[in-house]
Amino acid sequence: MQRLTNKRIVLGVTGGIAAYKSAELIRRLIDAGAEVRVVMTKAAQEFITPLTLQALSGNPVHLALLDTEAEAGMGHIELARWGDALLIAPASADFIARLTHGHGNDLLTTLCLAARCPIHIAPAMNQGMWASTANQNNIQQLETNGIHLIGPSSGYQACGDIGLGRMSEPNDIAQILADSFLTGSLTGIRVVITAGPTREAIDPVRYISNHSSGKMGFALAEAARDAGANVTLIAGPVNLATPGRVNRINVISAKDMLAATTELLDTLSLSKNPVIFIGTAAVADYRPDTSATQKIKKTQGNPNLTLQLIENPDIIAAVAQRIPKPFTVGFAAETQNVLDYANDKISRKNLDMIVANDVSNKDIGFNSDLNAVTIIWPEGNKTIDIASKPIIASAIIQQISLQL
Ligand code: PMT
């Protein structure tokens, strides 16, 4: 988290049970070398006292827009100019709605309007509120406006529900904020990422597929975008919203994914900008030889059905054969001998880097919010212990930018 050293962070705290976590967040930011000034909404003060956050940040806490004494110390416009980043954690549904619509009816929304530095929000709310159409529309609009989303994560909630809406852990928020100061490391670079599973049709109603959710690929798309790249996701069938300011091409089968990849890379090769290709997708290695045009019916007295499978094209190997060759990063999903198989794949597929993950561990990898990886490149390797996929993604993007 060295990138937070001497950084000035304005931390906005809004009303919600997760406000207690902002005390720990301040500690994490200060431990990492940042200077923190806290702004609390009226509702936040119902959950945690300004005195606590003042003691932890070592600075007076800003509470009201129309406070002559506070304005005499550091006025709200001055405070907006002071910050290298504005972080709102927790960001309640109400605050998110007001931010989306450009309200300036309290100190924090006014600061957001006046700020010229990057704004990050770490939402925290009940899972139903998070999923509501109104809130999702607001989030999409904020991302389009260039506001960075951190989390939320999923799990047990204070109200007893389980689902997406918990504020990300303070350590993760501090790490993502630190990584955001990397912005610029991929400026001018085009990044193409395959994500999710492929589906290989057996007949019009059945297919062969796998458990990939697309989360790892989508997290990489956000991290690459935040590092300044122009990003395109080529996504298999997944149930994820497109991150703001990321292009997306939807595909179904491995053959579709190869066609979309080839077409896009052909277009990108017309410009001189460097290209990075990251193959996160869990591409089906085999597909049914033929896909029946009508639903295959059960035949009485025949308990067996034999499917003839044939090999799918290897997309990443084809990318690595291109001239000029994109900087090509593969993933290796293995259940045993993880590093040996990954090392074999990096040379067999002619890759510049490979990210190995052990998918035998049910807590990480496929369809989990977490992962743990070893990044391998010809001259070295780096292991990242279990962490959220956005954290892993930032570390991978950072390593890629160092290898370019
Ligand atoms: O999507 P999530 O739920 O977040 O899960 C993330 C993940 C586990 C899917 C991801 O971290 C991961 O490991 N992705 C690679 C999965 C995979 O197919 O691994 P592989 O070892 O079989 O393939 C090696 C590489 O070749 C991969 O980069 C893969 O995209 C690529 N490949 C494989 C086969 C093929 N026909 N074409 C390819 O391009």
Atom in ligand 1 nearest the alpha carbon of residue 345: 24
Does 174 share its domain with 198? Answer: no
Do residues 227 and 184 make contact, with C-beta atoms less than 8 angstroms apart?
yes
Cα of 311 from ligand 1 centre, angstroms = 15
CATH number of the CATH domain containing 249: 3.40.50.10300
The two tokens of residue 312 are: 């799918």
Cis peptide before 90 (omega within 30 of 0): yes
Cα of 154 from ligand 1 centre, angstroms = 24
Lowest mean per-residue pLDDT among 66-75, 135-144, 164-173, 326-335 = 66-75
On the 0-12 / 13-18 / 19+ scale of CB atoms within 10 A, 278 is buried
Written as one letter, the residue type at 60 is P
Give the pLDDT mean for 314-342: 96
* Residue 90 resides in a domain: yes
User: What is residue 1's predicted lDDT score, i.e. its pLDDT?
Assistant: 62
Does 254 share its domain with 383? Answer: yes
Structural domain tally of the chain?
2
Does 234 share its domain with 97? Answer: no
Lowest mean per-residue pLDDT among 76-90, 174-188, 254-268 = 174-188
89 to each of 83, 120, 169, 261, 397, how far by Cα in Å? Answer: 15, 8, 10, 38, 24
Ligand 1 in reach of 23 Cβ (< 6 A): no
pLDDT score of 183 more than 70:
no
* Domain containing residue 75: 2-180
pLDDT score of 182 more than 70:
no
Give the pLDDT mean for 292-317: 92
Give the pLDDT mean for 130-159: 90
* Residue 185 resides in a domain: no
Distance of CA 391 to the CA centre of its chain: 8
Ligand 1 in reach of 332 Cβ (< 6 A): yes
Do residues 89 and 57 make contact, with C-beta atoms less than 8 angstroms apart?
no
User: What is residue 180's predicted lDDT score, i.e. its pLDDT?
Assistant: 83
* Residue 122 resides in a domain: yes
Query: 3-class DSSP state for residue 232?
Result: strand
Does 198 share its domain with 175? Answer: no
The two tokens of residue 132 are: 């509501």
Give the pLDDT mean for 102-119: 92
Distance CA 398, CA 89 (A): 24
Does 164 share its domain with 217? Answer: no
User: What is residue 357's predicted lDDT score, i.e. its pLDDT?
Assistant: 94
Atom in ligand 1 nearest the alpha carbon of residue 214: 1
Domain ends where: 154, 180, 206? 180
* Residue 316 resides in a domain: yes
User: What is residue 340's predicted lDDT score, i.e. its pLDDT?
Assistant: 95
Does 110 share its domain with 233? Answer: no
**For 207, phi and psi rounded to 5 degrees?**
-150, 165
Distance CA 24, CA 158 (A): 18
Does 263 share its domain with 377? Answer: yes
Does 50 share its domain with 170? Answer: yes
pLDDT score of 231 more than 70:
yes
* Residue 286 resides in a domain: yes
Atom in ligand 1 nearest the alpha carbon of residue 197: 1
Report, in angstroms and rounded to the nearest whole number, the Rg of the chain calculated over CA atoms: 23
* Protein residue with its CA nearest to atom 13 in ligand 1: 333
* Residue 332 resides in a domain: yes
Cα of 222 from ligand 1 centre, angstroms = 18
Residues 380-396: tens digit of each pLDDT = 999 998 888 988 998 99
Does 45 share its domain with 75? Answer: yes
Catalytic, out of 113, 131, 159, 205: 159
- Using 50, 70 and 90 to split pLDDT, how confident is the model at 199? very high
User: What is residue 294's predicted lDDT score, i.e. its pLDDT?
Assistant: 95
* Residue 152 resides in a domain: yes
Domain ends where: 180, 210, 229? 180
The two tokens of residue 262 are: 């080839």
**Which runs of consecutive H residues, i.e. helices, occur in 35-100?**
50-57, 68-73, 76-82, 93-100
Does 158 share its domain with 256? Answer: no
pLDDT score of 374 more than 70:
yes
Give the pLDDT mean for 238-243: 93
Does 145 share its domain with 269? Answer: no
Distance CA 171, CA 25 (A): 7
Do residues 345 and 351 make contact, with C-beta atoms less than 8 angstroms apart?
yes
- Using 50, 70 and 90 to split pLDDT, how confident is the model at 264? very high
User: What is residue 2's predicted lDDT score, i.e. its pLDDT?
Assistant: 61
Task: Compute the C-alpha angle 151/154/156, nearest 5°.
Answer: 135
On the 0-12 / 13-18 / 19+ scale of CB atoms within 10 A, 211 is exposed
Lowest mean per-residue pLDDT among 5-9, 13-17, 220-224, 352-356 = 5-9
pLDDT score of 69 more than 80:
no
Does 194 share its domain with 289? Answer: yes
Strands 190-195 and 230-235: parallel
112 assigned to active site: no
* Residue 242 resides in a domain: yes
Ligand 1 in reach of 279 Cβ (< 6 A): yes
Do residues 12 and 62 make contact, with C-beta atoms less than 8 angstroms apart?
no
User: What is residue 31's predicted lDDT score, i.e. its pLDDT?
Assistant: 95
Domain ends where: 143, 160, 180? 180
CATH number of the CATH domain containing 89: 3.40.50.1950
Question: What percent of the chain lies above the pLDDT cut of 90?
Answer: 76
Q: How far apart are the first and last CA of the chain?
A: 22
Give the pLDDT mean for 179-196: 88
Bridge partners (DSSP) of residue 383 are 374
User: What is residue 227's predicted lDDT score, i.e. its pLDDT?
Assistant: 87
